[in-house]
Amino acid sequence: MPSSEVLSKTPRKPYPFPDSRGRFGRFGGRYVPETLMHPLMELEAAYNKAQSDPEFIGELAALRKHYIGRPTPLYFAKRLTEHLGGAKIYFKREDLAHTGAHKINNALGQSLLAKRMGKRRVIAETGAGQHGVATATACALLGLECEVYMGTEDMERQKLNVCRMRLLGSKVTPVDSGTKTLKDAINEAMRDWVTNVADTHYVLGTVEGPHPYPVICRDFQKVIGEEARCQILEAEGRLPDLLIACVGGGSNAIGLFFEFIQDESVRMIGVEAGGHGPATGMHAARFAGGVVGMLHGAMSYVLQDENGQIMGTHSVSAGLDYPSIGPEHSYWHDIGRVEYAYANDDEALAAFTMASRMEGIIPALESAHAIA
């Protein structure tokens, strides 16, 4: 094993995805009504410009440090490690980021971008409410008007986050159509965006959607893995054997995995929501039960019936309750770089209790799927 100093400086091969058409192999792309095509191209151009602008980079770096509170700690879970008696377990503590989740990394980055683009209004969808809270927070900070779409079922099970968004000055609009969850909130946000695209930016909360959203969100989230890689090299002097993350749309998992994707010795597992178990049909395990299709602008694995109608999902965690998955995950799945497994509701709940009692860390139900 090379020294940690060598590892941290290992030159990276160029990573060719997404290509110029926003594809990760056969996944991704830009499948949207024509009205959104030019706005997406504008967004892509504005984003590319911002990414090479020292002022934007500097502003984001300062906010990450002083506002979000980055870097977040990499915490050695000693009691859990002893209890399980196997590998040494570390938690990347995104729960200690401002607003309590990794979602702020993307929401703040995109809101800064929106402001730069001269948009006065920002909209977002939310499932568990974390992305909604993060976007409402970023908008409060930057003085942007904010409206968040949320399924009525999710509003019921995540009441506290609805209060937080409203406290932050955001409008929360209930979505009562379809399955009344994240998928339908995205539908409604897209309908708003297609209508108000002239002055509104849509802050999509995960590595889903039409190009360039998957790459923008990945880039704003990859700081998780960049920090984790330095932190583990400092703590252990070597790379980890295994990374585990839960996967809904998959922004946290991509954020962690991306920096390690070329470290061939590092095995990675994405954990989907098994709900009551894939056999019951009440789940959100896209790789176990889905086929390739197109939802919300991107080609990916999608839970659907044989006629191409999107199926309802079930998970105890609102944040994983979504019938498709980020296109880059589908690509990693197909090339075998990342393994995907699922944890059922009861397994996640058991892990939730274990982490709480053994480490004094009450995880999100989403993250509990990864611990399980």
CB of 331 to other proteins, least distance (A): 17
Q: Provide the terminal-to-terminal Cα distance of the chain, rounded to the nearest Å.
A: 29
Nearest CB to other proteins, comparing residues 164 and 183: 183
Tell me phi and psi for residue 24, to 5 degrees: -110, 90
* Rounded-to-10 torsion of CA 98, 103, 108, 114: -160
Nearest CB to other proteins, comparing residues 253 and 302: 302
CB of 20 to other proteins, least distance (A): 12
Nearest CB to other proteins, comparing residues 300 and 344: 300
Contact 175/152 with Cβ under 8 angstroms?
yes
Number of Cα atoms under 13 Å in the Cβ half of residue 156: 8
Tell me phi and psi for residue 237, to 5 degrees: 70, 15
**43 CB contacts (<8 Å, ≥6 apart)?**
113, 117, 201, 212, 216
By CB under 8 A, name the binding residues for other proteins. Answer: 29-39, 177-178, 183-184, 187, 190-191, 194-198, 292-297, 302, 304, 306-310
Of residues 292, 127, 300, the one with CA closest to residue 208: 300
CB of 190 to other proteins, least distance (A): 5
Q: Is the dihedral of CA 95, 96, 97, 99 positive or negative?
A: positive
3-state helix, strand, coil in the chain (%, to 5): 50, 20, 35
SS3 state at 323: coil
CB of 177 to other proteins, least distance (A): 6
Let me know how many helices (H) and strands (E) the chain has, helices first.
16, 13
CB of 31 to other proteins, least distance (A): 5
Nearest CB to other proteins, comparing residues 205 and 240: 205
**CA–CA distance from 269 to each of 41, 131, 171, 350 (Å)?**
33, 23, 37, 19
Q: Where are the alpha helices (DSSP H) in 290-335?
A: 327-335
Nearest CB to other proteins, comparing residues 260 and 287: 287
CB of 315 to other proteins, least distance (A): 18
**Using CA atoms, how far apart are residues 176 and 250, in angstroms rounded to an integer?**
25
CB of 284 to other proteins, least distance (A): 15
Nearest CB to other proteins, comparing residues 153 and 259: 153
Nearest CB to other proteins, comparing residues 72 and 179: 179
Residue whose token pair is 């607003």: 99
Contact 282/256 with Cβ under 8 angstroms?
no
Nearest CB to other proteins, comparing residues 49 and 191: 191
CB of 151 to other proteins, least distance (A): 13
